[in-house]
Amino acid sequence: MKEFFGSRGLPVRACVGLALLAIVSGGALAAGPVPPPHWSGLPIWGQEAAEKGYILPLPFGVGITAYAAEQPVDIHDLQLARRGNDPVSVTNFLQIDRVDTKQQNVSLKLDVLVLPFFNVYALLGYTTGSTKGKIQVPDDPILGIIQPQILNLDASFQGPTYGVGMTFQGGGKVHEWRDLTAFAVVDVNRTQTKLSFDNEALIAHTKPIATVLSARFGMGGIAGPSSRVGFWIGAMYQKIQQRVAGGVSDTELEFAVTQSPAKPWNTLIGGVGEIGRNVVIVVEGGLGARKSILASAVYRF
């Protein structure tokens, strides 16, 4: 029989928008009679696909994903102020060294296979993180705000993340050896995180929006009597713009930073293991300027 790889998609990289991913290959592990339709009637055209020899994953998935990443960011605007005063943009006056952002996210994801090649999902999670860097104040005082010095930017943030996404996937058997199957997955999602900060003097309510596009290409096959494994390589693009507020240690200086990823693209390498038709375990790493690690467990029914 042919093999059709489904997908769990990518929970996003929220406040900073994080993307979380889990790919679910088709569940059945061997040739056999055509299975009866699922009680839900999903996916649409699923029975027709099964009669043509495609093996589809079970239509519903519930998953928990943990994700961590760090990356350099570009500063588009920096506002400074003494505590209690209105902030002033000083980007044109300062030399800004490397600024790094770290994020951690845990999320619950619910997905539905609507069509044999099309999956939709919603997610709800919680994100924490920090932004760290240095700015150099020139020899002349800036607008009377602060004296020349090197300032450390250090802001921590956290908040709930929610969003939706969709996944297109497909594949087919390429060799009889262990039912070797090639697959491709394209995913897009959009999330928002309601952030709060250790210091909220400049920004009380921050809700950065993240849009994540990714593509993965891989191979999978039978690993045992009731298990499959798969491996892939891919790429991810993140479009995120966020504002972060904080304070400088031992001073009255407060700041607000508008930033976005310095390198929106990175490389993905991952693997998936399936136990029967119901349990899926995923691990994926991100390489490049944005380094990440993801682990996910999914139950399909």
- What is residue 14's predicted lDDT score, i.e. its pLDDT? 34
CA distance to 118, 160, 208, per residue, from 203 (Å)? 39, 17, 12
Q: Which residues contact 173 (CB under 8 A, 6 or more apart)?
A: 1, 2, 3, 179, 180, 181
pTM above 0.75, yes or no: yes
Strand partners, 189: 165, 212
Where do the domains of the chain lie? 13-300
Alpha carbon 269 to chain centroid, angstroms:
14
More confident residue, 245 or 217: 217
Burial of 41 (0-12, 13-18, 19+ CB in 10 A): exposed
Per-residue pLDDT, averaged over 214-219, amounts to 96
Residues in the chain: 301
CATH architecture of 13-300: Beta Barrel (2.40)
What value does the mean pLDDT of the chain take? 80
Look at residue 257 and tell me whether its pLDDT is greater than 70. yes
More confident residue, 267 or 146: 267
Q: Where are the alpha helices (DSSP H) in the chain?
A: 46-51
